[in-house]
């Protein structure tokens, strides 16, 4: 086979919950499409993007993983950003609605014949990392491991510092150019992301830039201490939203971490 050609095919896959449709793109390694007949299964990664983004912002990770034999499924959160193909607007979105979207994506993958259910992973970036960690804590037996890239564990503090009274939240605000509702801030301040971390004992990789101006690296350093099996990789000089060499290094760190888990017994 020509090694310059992708060793996977892209498929649009929708999932649904509570009357909402969630758009996603699955990369299926060659052979996965015949799994119904061959019963061959593949390690699978469900990917979650950050605030204001869409599934294409995870392409560097999903394409590399699929090229190494992983099924990947990257979704657009409902109202996750202006380019999202899923239902809803950003004013409808909160970390709770994103948790529900991600759960629907996980359930869809668990129903697919090509998925190795004992090798199911979550990978999330920024707000998608926050949501991925939240779902992993709720379903610790479902996932083999968790990969987080500059996870936005700052959301809880940001909301409480911005609206210290809790009742002074405006009906609409803007964060990083994204229009958000009162419900978004209320959901962010309702859940301390560190509370449930000790209950997730599976391996966790955290990748964070040393110069992150949006989510200070201190939040990932704290998570690495609270999570029982976490390892923090720092990319020196990198800011939030990796590009270029930082993005390539991050993608390979995630690939190496998840590949290592396939040989583990946890």
Domain count, the chain: 1
Q: How far apart are CA 220 and CA 198, in angstroms?
A: 14
- Containing domain of residue 53, as a range? 8-153+197-262
Binned at pLDDT 50, 70 and 90, residue 165 comes out as confident
Q: DSSP string spanning 150-209?
A: S--TTHHHHHHHHSTTSS---SEEEETTEEEEHHHHHHHHT--TTTTGGG--S-EEEEEE
- Among candidates 258, 49, 55, which has minimal Cα distance to 150? 49
Asked whether residue 145 is domain-assigned, the answer is yes
Count Cβ atoms within 10 A of the Cβ of residue 1 and give its class: 0-12 exposed, 13-18 middle, 19 or more buried. exposed
Q: How far apart are CA 253 and CA 74, in angstroms?
A: 18
Q: How far apart are CA 98 and CA 115, in angstroms?
A: 22
Tokens of 42: 């593949």
Q: What is the pLDDT averaged over residues 223-241?
A: 97
Q: What is the pLDDT averaged over residues 253-263?
A: 96
Asked whether residue 71 is domain-assigned, the answer is yes
Asked whether residue 64 is domain-assigned, the answer is yes
Asked if residue 93 lies in contact with residue 172, where contact means CB atoms within 8 angstroms, the answer is no
Asked whether residue 139 is domain-assigned, the answer is yes
Average pLDDT of every residue of the chain: 95
Asked whether residue 146 is domain-assigned, the answer is yes
Q: What is the pLDDT averaged over residues 218-227?
A: 98
pLDDT at 264: 64
pLDDT at 6: 76
The fraction of the chain above a pLDDT of 70, given in percent, is 97
Asked whether residue 170 is domain-assigned, the answer is no
Binned at pLDDT 50, 70 and 90, residue 4 comes out as low
Q: How far apart are CA 48 and CA 160, in angstroms?
A: 24
Q: How far apart are CA 119 and CA 198, in angstroms?
A: 21
Q: How far apart are CA 100 and CA 263, in angstroms?
A: 30
Q: How far apart are CA 22 and CA 109, in angstroms?
A: 13
Q: What is the pLDDT averaged over residues 114-139?
A: 97
pLDDT at 3: 54
Asked whether residue 1 is domain-assigned, the answer is no
pLDDT at 266: 43
Q: What is the pLDDT of residues 169-198, one digit of tens each?
A: 999 999 989 999 999 999 999 999 999 999
User: Is the pLDDT assigned to residue 2 strictly greater than 70?
Assistant: no
pTM of the entire predicted model: 0.95
**Which CATH number characterizes residue 28's domain?**
3.40.50.1820
Q: What is the pLDDT averaged over residues 72-85?
A: 96
pLDDT at 210: 98
Asked whether residue 164 is domain-assigned, the answer is no
């Amino acid at each position: 086979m020509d090694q310059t050609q992708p060793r996977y095919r892209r498929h649009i896959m929708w999932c649904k919950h509570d009357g909402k449709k969630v758009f996603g793109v699955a990369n299926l390694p060659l052979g996965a499409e015949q799994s119904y007949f061959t019963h061959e299964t593949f390690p699978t990664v469900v990917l979650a993007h950050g605030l204001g983004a869409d599934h294409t912002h995870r392409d560097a990770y999903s394409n590399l993983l699929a090229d190494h034999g992983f099924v990947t499924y990257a979704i657009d959160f409902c109202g996750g950003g202006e380019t999202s193909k899923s239902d809803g607007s950003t004013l409808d979105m909160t970390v709770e609605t994103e948790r529900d979207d991600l759960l629907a994506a996980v359930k869809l993958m668990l129903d697919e014949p090509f998925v190795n259910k004992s090798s199911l992973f979550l990978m999330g970036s920024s707000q998608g990392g926050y949501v991925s960690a939240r779902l992993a804590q709720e379903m610790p037996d479902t996932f083999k491991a968790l990969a987080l890239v500059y996870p936005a564990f700052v959301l809880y503090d940001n909301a409480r510092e911005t609206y210290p009274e809790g009742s002074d939240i405006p009906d609409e605000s803007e964060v990083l150019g994204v229009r958000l509702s009162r419900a978004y801030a209320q959901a962010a301040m309702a859940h301390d992301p560190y509370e449930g971390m000790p209950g997730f004992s599976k391996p966790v990789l955290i990748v964070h830039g040393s110069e992150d101006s949006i989510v200070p690296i201190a939040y990932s350093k704290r998570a690495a201490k609270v999570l029982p099996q976490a390892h923090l990789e720092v990319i020196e000089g990198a800011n939030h939203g990796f590009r270029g060499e930082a993005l390539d290094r991050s993608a390979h760190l995630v690939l190496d971490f998840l590949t290592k888990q396939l040989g583990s017994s946890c």
